[in-house]
Amino acid sequence: MSTSISESSSASELRPEAAVVEPVESAWKPLYRVAGAAALLSIALTFLAVIVFIANPPLTTITAWFTLFQRNGLLGLMNLDLLMLVTYVLMGVIYVALYGALHRGHEPVMALATICGLVSIVTYIASNTGFNLLVLSGQYAAATTEAQRATIRAAGQAMLAIWQGTAYDVSYVLGGVAALLIATVMLRSHLFGRVTAYIGLVLGVLMLVPATAGTIGLYMSLISLVPTVIWLALLAWRFFQFASPQRPGSASAHRDMLA
């Protein structure tokens, strides 16, 4: 009788703990699904941004920018990284989803990685002055004196300096630090494959040099597009697995993680 009571007591103590784990996992599943879609959309926007860059290389003078905005405001915004701005916002969802997947047992590192990632997003948004230039181009077109136009040109030149200035560089490097931290945790976790982790490490290293750092920075930023797209694709695939009814700890999921 006493043995039966103790077993019943032990089972009752364990059941609440087991009940806590599953709701937490289920609570994250909708976010994993959204993060998977965000990663796929980011890939599409990255390809589109490259096409826009090749078809319309960045302009060199502020008057040329004003002319472009007056002719086609949307194209002007896209030339000033509107698509990448949307991609960075989508990355916010991905960072939070990665935290949800990897924070157990690695909470300090994942908290730091998430902070770096989110600060990177905020500083990038602050550095993007596309809409500022859109407004200035309208004022430039409406200006009636050369003195007014000269003042607006000076303001526009300042906006271009901000676009690829300190905030942009800080954002870029922090994004690299976030990728390195996340990839390091992935190597210690069984939730993501080693291929995903190593690609994240390569991406993080390439992003430690901002695209504005001369020729080497430009080349490294272009090269980083390859691991970026691959990493996002692998993350999307894994997020959709997390969101599916099949638990990540099942046998088939375990085989996927070892691949």
Q: What is the pLDDT of residues 97-155, one digit of tens each?
A: 999 999 988 999 999 999 999 999 999 999 999 999 999 999 999 999 999 999 999 99
Q: What is the pLDDT of residue 232?
A: 97
Site of tokens 């599943």:
29
When pLDDT is averaged across residues 29-33 and rounded to a whole number, the result is 93
Type of residue at 135:
V
Residue 100 backbone dihedrals phi, psi, to 5 degrees: -60, -35
What is the rounded distance in angstroms from the CA atom of residue 220 to the CA atom of residue 96? 26
What distance, in Å, lies between the first and last C-alpha atoms of the chain?
50
Q: What is the 3-state secondary structure (H, E, C) of 130-175?
A: HHHHHHHHHHHHHCCCHHHHHHHHHHHHHHHHHHCCHHHHHHHHHH
Span of 10-14, 84-88, 158-162, 225-229 with lowest mean pLDDT:
10-14
- Alpha carbon dihedral 101, 102, 103, 108, in 10-degree steps, equals -150
Residue 189 backbone dihedrals phi, psi, to 5 degrees: -110, 160
Q: What is the pLDDT of residue 25?
A: 61
Span of 18-22, 58-62, 142-146, 154-158 with lowest mean pLDDT:
18-22
Type of residue at 74:
L
Domain coordinates in residue numbering, the chain: 30-258
Tokens of 133: 């230039």
CB atoms within 10 A of CB 80: 25
Of 218, 187, 241, 255, the C-alpha closest to 36 is: 241
Q: Are 108 and 139 in contact (CB under 8 A)?
A: no
The distance of Cα 30 from the centroid of its chain, to the nearest Å, equals 19
Residue 161 backbone dihedrals phi, psi, to 5 degrees: -65, -40
Q: Are 173 and 208 in contact (CB under 8 A)?
A: yes
Q: What is the pLDDT of residue 8?
A: 44
Span of 142-151, 222-231, 247-256 with lowest mean pLDDT:
247-256
More confident: 95 or 24: 95
